[in-house]
Structure 1
Amino acid sequence: MQIRTLILGAGAAGMMCARHTGGSTLVIDHAKAPGEKIRISGGGRCNFTNMYAGPANYLSQNPHFCKSALARYTQWDFIELVSRHGIAWHEKTLGQLFCDGSAKQIIALLVDELRAAGADLWLQTSVESVERTASGFRVTLLREGKRQAVSCRNLVLATGGKSIPKMGATGLAYDLARQFELPLTETRPALVPFTFPDGRFKPLAGVALPARLSNDRTSFDEALLFTHRGLSGPSVLQLSSYWREGEAITVNLFPDTPLFDRLREQRQAGGGRDLTTELSRHLPAKLVDFLTPVLALKGRLADQSDAALRTLCESLENWQLLPAGTEGYRTAEVTLGGIDTDALSSKTMEAKSVPGLYAIGEAVDVTGWLGGYNFQWAWSSGFAAGTAIAATG
């Protein structure tokens, strides 16, 4: 079988790429259905982009690499596509856009678009081998128990990273990158909960509150969730992308409240109230109970000197914790790192040393924040590769 373009991976980036490459394009995936990570995203409603997506929201060894693709296919371009398909959407928080209905609407949009562009989609099809040829590539596929050879001029690596292996993640893109001698940056689980092996937060499982989580590199003000295994929630997932094993993190339980001033005011107004009772006005009661022995919370407000209140506030605003690790790729939303951007053209996503080989989406060393940014990178990088392929005729 001879085609112009073979795209490995029917996820967000792969299907977006196929929409723009035009005819003589085949998209393959080993899953039973396309866009499985789209389907489960955003609680089933797909946080498909972010209104504020820009280069500052991405991690990469080369922070400038993503600029070209993000500028040429923006969040507003994808929003227009979503609206054109009659998909109702809404902003949740911090510019995060979700479908009013189901994530399956985004998958249907992408499948309809790629088919309208003349591309084919084969599911339950795996890659057995890839060879370089004089005119491009020869890929041996395994489909319905039978081998089939496909020759193509362009080969697009859109198989994602290692995150959520139960969804079929395999790291195939990295294996093929090594085969073609493309350098890789270190890969790590990202947007992933922290774990604490002693089960210290088990009594707080399910408790959530706004907090500021930080380390020496950055900080995030979003919700914090205590779990049986440790810490989760948006603030934790965001910080995990900037965290390394053995590093402490700081939790500020009062990021927007002048706690010391509030406690002094309440001491004047009602000093007979227990300190724990007053703190329960600002924090979940379960958390106050948990912190009582840790911080030796006792006595009435009237018994607390200014120095004692300052010490208490310092403890609550600079709670130092040392995670044992993360939940790993099992629950990580994305993979940090990947195919080194130095090996790729930022305009076309084509490998500099292997003409006709492209890498897009999560497979590349570009990782977005939580909140629709990784989907936007999929749309933008898929567009960049797809339009570049179409321009070659």
Structure 2
Amino acid sequence: DLTMVQKWPVKQAVRCYAEKPRPSRVMETGVRAIDTFNPMAEGGTGFIPGPFGAGKTVLQHAISKQADADVIIMVACGERANEVVEIFKEFPELIDPRTGHNLMERTIIICNTSNMPVAAREASVYTGMTIGEYYRAMGLKVLVMADSTSRWAQALREMSNRLEELPGQDAFPMDLSAIISNFYSRAGLVKLNNGATGSVTFLGTVSPAGGNLKEPVTESTKKAARCFYALSQGRADSKRYPAIDPLESYSKYLEYPEIREYLDERIEKHWADLVYEGKTIIQRGKEANDQINILGDDGVPVEYHERFWKSELLDFVILQQDAFDDIDANCPIERQKTMYGMVIDICRRDFGFTDFERCAQFFKGLINLFRQMNYSEWRSEKFEGYERQIADYLNQQLSK
């Protein structure tokens, strides 16, 4: 029926809303390294840069399965065909935990593999955003994901070169930064004319050549996006997934008073301060580890070892997550609050170890108990059993 067809130029934003306030709610993704450390706002923008093989696509798939959104739009922009085929094979089999229906029912896939024309590659990203705005105008929460915006920028470069425009840095268009900023600004939370709210949250991946985060696409995206989830090659190589670097990554939404209020009400008072405390523990652990590597195990005081192992505890329990495990793949915010609270409480204690071997042995045992806890169903007998075991294990050490 042609009366149902709507035509709209994809490069023009759909602006049928009363106002566009600042984001004031957090979008839960079920990924601890994002929700606990660098939360993404509903109607916010973020990007995931990282070298090839660091897990950008797997992370995007994990977010698309469990994010708190009504509609998911995945733009496969210049990706390898096997990755796109994976989405088509996997998604129809998945059940949406929120509705009990098939996940495919609320997923839109815009498929544009690397062997398709350059002009289509440019259009696909804009098409995804326009469809997102269309659903936002219905008062829905939409999550748009583009994999990868680097291929989109390469398409812009090729078209710019063919039009014989003046090239900028690395032969990208001169106005690359403005193009990216204009695109990212189309996302956001809106108040519709009928008083309802709708949102488009945008999350793109960037594949910098050779993992170089100083190249033009990453630099321009950094100016436009408010969340930065840097994937590190070192973490990926040591199988610490998701390989989000806790010190390089950031969320500027933590600075918004509206978001802070939301976190204080939804999770716990002064949650943002607890997050900064966790980042400090990781920073101090990294510094202690550098000293241990230079001077050797015996060459540094035992406190250095304790500092390092506390950061490892935080890393293994909170930052690492198994995207292929039924329980650990999706961590609700209540569970994150409990686990993070337990870990921070342990990190604040002083155990007074006499030698570094005893310290390492104690923390390895503790990490193992917490890992088993992560694989147990929330608030099940098994989960509470591990909670008691951890309490006993700590008391044994503190009573020595």
**Which TM-score band applies after superposition, normalised by the shorter structure?**
under 0.3
Where relative contact order (Cα < 8 A, 6+ residues apart) is larger, the structure is 1
TM-score by length of 2: 0.27
Q: Which has the higher helix share?
A: 2
Which is greater in Rg?
A: 1
